A = this chain, B = another copy of it.
Amino acid sequence: MPRGSERVTLNEVAPRDGLQIEPRFVPTAEKIRWIDALSRTGVAKIEATSFTSPKAIPTLRDAEAVMQGIERVPGVDYVVLVPNEKGAERALAVGADEINLVLSASDSHGRANLRMSAEQSLSRFAGILEITRGSGVHVNASISTAFGCPFEGAVPQRRVMEIIERLLALGVQGISLCDTTGMANPQQVATLCGEVLARWPWLPLTLHVHDTRGMGLVNAFSAWQQGVTRFDAALGGLGGCPFAPGASGNVCTEDLAHMFAQMGVETGVDLARLLAVAEELPALVGHAVPGQVVKAGSAERRYPLPTGSG
């Protein structure tokens, strides 16, 4: 079996990508407590909030308070989503380690989700990058619908390659390929990730997959086989896409960390600690979540022999 890297890193996106579509506002103090607990699980990054307009995403209207309230644990990078120049200024003001920009590879999804075509997003990013230049903040761009669009269907690989090229020319330092509505399959993931890493071997490339059709883990595995070492994931499998509702959201952090651990791939994550945080998640968001390992326990779990057997 082709093995990828012996070490991967996880970016916990639930506080932003998960809470963003939750119906309930999680009180700021609870968010801070939660992010502080996640900071001690061994994840490399946490996407903590979004500097969007409070009207657009009311559940994240406390972005400054969250960023100012959390403990910044050394070794963890705190990422914030930034949609425009104003957001970039807010992110710099709170000292975010990384800014994440989002655009859609498919214009129909871009217009539905961001009210912008990819071309419009790229112009806007140019303005944002002028603001961040010299600040030391790392700028990543997430390409939504990189593996398919729920409105248009297939997104040509060439289109994704061209967008990456444009982003890098603008000064973006990292790229996330996002399977926004869970349309990717492991063959497609291998092909696109393989091509991107062949062309830009130095690129910090992150895979962001959803488990909408149960393929979150297999897609991550396939990307890992191609050399991808960075993965977005959400605690409990929170998240989703409002335009393609389904059974599940982002790939589940604890299930992904567990898979890599079982394969002998180092994630830096303390699984027991992560599971302890995951156990509190249904209470935090007020509903059951789709994560599996938190229910079944790790594959290391041993059961007592039933009485009467033997």
Contact = CB atoms under 8 A, between A and B. Distances in A.
Interface of A: 1-3, 108, 111-112, 115, 148, 150-153, 182-188, 190-191, 194, 211-218, 221-222, 225-226, 243-248, 252, 255, 258-259, 262-264, 291-293, 295-306, 309-310
A182 B299 CA distance: 7
A244 B296 contact: yes
A252 B248 CA distance: 15
Contact of A153 (B153, B247, B255, B302): B302
Nearest to A261: B185
Contacts of A222: 1, 221
Contacts of A2: 1-2
B226 A1 contact: yes
Nearest to A117: B310
A252 B214 CA distance: 9
Contacts of A262: 185, 187-188, 215
A1 B195 CA distance: 11
A263 B259 CA distance: 22
A310 B117 CA distance: 9
